[in-house]
Amino acid sequence: MTEPGKKKIYIFVDLLCVIVASLPSAILTLLFRPYQRGIYCDDQSIQYPFKYDTITHSMMAAITISFSVIIITSGEAYLVYSKRLHSNSDFNQYVAALYKVVGTFLFGAVVSQSLTDLAKFTIGRPRPNFLAVCAPKVCNGYMLEINCTGNHRNVTESRLSFYSGHSSFGMYCMLFLALYVQARMQGNGAGALIAVLTVRYVSDFFKQRRPYHACATTAETEALGNETLECKPNLQIGDGEHNNHFSHPPGPI
């Protein structure tokens, strides 16, 4: 088989892997219903009114995917242009570099979405607005089967609370970008720069706090307004001789 023929087969296999990885999400969404978990009708955590998403799924996907692809494209183009990245492919160097990274990103995205949908449909946890969406005819005490009168699509969606699709997909995109930047950043000070940025913007090491013993009172909080520093309660460490469950009096031998 010629070399171009092998490359076409490799591309076909890559596309096939992406399609297969997306099948669980598509099949669950189109053919299956989430697990019908029973509810307590007086559960206040599912009695919130129905409101449309502030950030829709399509908006979330458009922002995260576009943001990720722009950063990846810029990074790969710069590395190829500066001769720091070279591909063995006879095709265009820019396209070959983008194909590898963007293809990996898309494959991971569909796997993440499939795993998220699998967890959602298996757990079937009701959303906070479940009763408002379901609009059951009768709901008293604990009910395992509920006769919902609301829109079928909205009722199905209201049983897919955990875990959050927005959070999981956004986390995947940002984690992929973090690993991409870590792998592509070159230079002696790259590792130190990443460590400094992580400590400065991710951790709360430099966050200013009020001392534990000087927490503001209600009057001080109202006086300071938005300038009130974060105050955490003091951790009370009990006496080991009285509160430690290992220090109970020894029993008869």
- The model's pLDDT over 41-56, given as tens digits with 9 standing for 90+, comes to 999 999 999 988 888 8
Indicate the DSSP class of residue 39: E
Q: Examine residue 217 and state whether it is found in any structural domain, yes or no.
A: no
Q: Examine residue 211 and state whether it is found in any structural domain, yes or no.
A: no
Place of tokens 């596309």: 15
Q: Examine residue 156 and state whether it is found in any structural domain, yes or no.
A: yes
Q: Examine residue 226 and state whether it is found in any structural domain, yes or no.
A: no
CA distances from 143 to 39, 187, 252 (A): 6, 62, 50
Full domain range(s) for residue 131: 3-188
| Amino acid type, 170 | G
Domain count, the chain: 1
Helices (H) and strands (E) in the chain, counts: 9, 2
Q: Among candidates 24, 38, 33, 32, which has minimal Cα distance to 155?
A: 33
Q: Examine residue 209 and state whether it is found in any structural domain, yes or no.
A: no
CA distances from 19 to 14, 32, 115, 166 (A): 9, 19, 14, 22
Q: Examine residue 83 and state whether it is found in any structural domain, yes or no.
A: yes
Q: Examine residue 125 and state whether it is found in any structural domain, yes or no.
A: yes
Q: With a cut of 50, say whether residue 79 has pLDDT above it.
A: yes
What are the percentages of helix, strand and coil residues in the chain, rounded to 5? Answer: 60, 5, 35
Q: Examine residue 232 and state whether it is found in any structural domain, yes or no.
A: no
CA distance 144 to 159: 13
User: Full-prediction pTM beyond 0.75?
Assistant: no
Kindly report, residue by residue over 13-32, the tens digit of the pLDDT: 999 999 999 999 999 999 99
Q: Among candidates 161, 157, 162, which has minimal Cα distance to 133?
A: 157
